[in-house]
Amino acid sequence: MLRRDDGAVTNRATASDADLVAALESALGRIRRTARLLVGDPELADDLVGEAIARTLPRWRAGLVEDAPAYVRRVVVNLASRRWRRLALGRRRDRAALEWTADPADPTELLAERDRTVRAVMALPARRRAVVVLRFYEDLTLADIADVLGIAQGTVKSQLSRALEQLRAGLETQENAVEET
């Protein structure tokens, strides 16, 4: 038996999508406000609430959710937390990238660095070079790269990993050669 917010009692085994709507109706405003406070953006908050309801629906239909508002609220908080982690990771990567790519004081250093990078990329085998260019120059996803190259997504991942290792080694070798001269 399931008691909805309006006081009606429903047999959980026969609860329908309409029962979920009824269970969420009175709590939806509070859940949306919670999401807005968590992410600070009304549109993003509404997207989080919608995604939370979409993720709740299959579990509701399977009879695995007893308290729909509490479950949706928990999913909203988890989605917001995942977003915070993703943003924090992105900020850390951005800072690291900015430190790595800081403009040199001398424009000739910039040209030398670009030349080193282009030579290292050109030294890659054709498929690895294609994967690196599509990923970092074209900013394609792994799935898109797999479609463009007609290979499996796992192959894209392995080729990208090997290409980055080879680039690191090549750039390190070039750097050591420059330091020795």
Q: Which residue has the tokens 């299959």?
A: 58
Please identify, among 40, 58, 93, the residue that sits at the C-terminal boundary of a domain: 93
Q: What is the mean pLDDT of the chain?
A: 82
Please identify, among 93, 112, 139, the residue that sits at the C-terminal boundary of a domain: 93
88: burial class by Cβ within 10 Å (0-12, 13-18, 19+)? exposed
pLDDT band at 6 (very low <50, low <70, confident <90, very high): low
Of the candidates 108, 156, 104, which has an alpha carbon nearest to the alpha carbon of residue 135? 156
Please identify, among 71, 93, 115, the residue that sits at the C-terminal boundary of a domain: 93
User: For residue range 19-63, what is the model confidence (pLDDT) as tens digits?
Assistant: 888 989 999 999 999 889 888 889 989 999 999 999 999 999 999
Kindly report the CATH number assigned to the domain that includes residue 127. Answer: 1.10.10.10
Question: What is the model's pLDDT at position 141?
Answer: 92
**Are the C-beta atoms of residues 31 and 40 closer than 8 Å to each other?**
no
Of the candidates 60, 96, 173, 27, which has an alpha carbon nearest to the alpha carbon of residue 88? 96
Measured over the CA atoms of residue 45, residue 47, residue 51 and residue 53, the dihedral's sign is positive
Token output for 59? 């579990």
Say yes or no: 83 and 112 in one domain.
no
What's the structural domain count of the chain?
A: 2
Say yes or no: 11 and 41 in one domain.
yes
Please give the residue range of the domain that contains residue 120: 104-180
Radius of gyration, CA atoms only, the chain:
26
Say yes or no: 86 and 112 in one domain.
no
